[in-house]
Amino acid sequence: MMDDKETINVDDINYAVYKIGDWENNYEINQIGLSNEIPVTKNTLDHVKFSMDEIRNTEFSISDKKVNGFVAIAMQLNPKVQEMELDEAIALEQKEFDNIVEELDGLDLIGDDQTIPLDGEEYLIYKLEKDCHVTTSIPANDFTKEFFNNELKKIEDALD
């Protein structure tokens, strides 16, 4: 167990910090919008936007059309999206992307000059570790581990 007094600097690029919350809009395709993790630091917000760009910039061919990663993932995993025409799914992804960017740009963030307790229960905190070209998010405290495990269970249950 960590020392209760251990803190992290909000501007530390080695951590992603979120609060548990709900997005203003409903999302079917955008994985960021399907999560209850809302970024609360500028670095985390930048990381989320970078991740979205990476997924959107990845192209797949479906029915002789080029689609981005969000559409491809949704077509594979989301029964509602599988029932849509491909053009409808592409248009929905664009609408969702625009909405999530607007929501992200409107978030209240913690000032970069602040510190937060590492082992508190106000924020979900992930330690970001680089392995070659992949960044792995590792829950950095018990509160985040419990939330993370519950989210994985929900995903597994949904896929069964």
pLDDT band at 149 (very low <50, low <70, confident <90, very high): very high
Which has the closest alpha carbon to 109: 17, 12, 6, 24? 17
Ranges assigned E (strand) in 6-160:
7-9, 15-20, 37-39, 59-62, 65-68, 115-117, 124-131, 134-139
Contacts of 7 (CB under 8 A, 6+ apart): 115, 116, 117, 118
- Please give the model's pTM, rounded to 2 decimal places: 0.88
Under a CB-based contact definition with an 8 Å cutoff, are residues 97 and 70 in contact?
A: yes
pLDDT band at 133 (very low <50, low <70, confident <90, very high): confident
Which residue ranges make up each domain of the chain?
7-159
Q: What is the pLDDT of residues 70-119, one digit of tens each?
A: 999 999 988 999 999 999 999 999 999 999 999 999 999 999 999 999 99
SS3 string of 49-76? HHHHHHHHHCEEEECCEEEEHHHHHHHH
pLDDT band at 2 (very low <50, low <70, confident <90, very high): very low
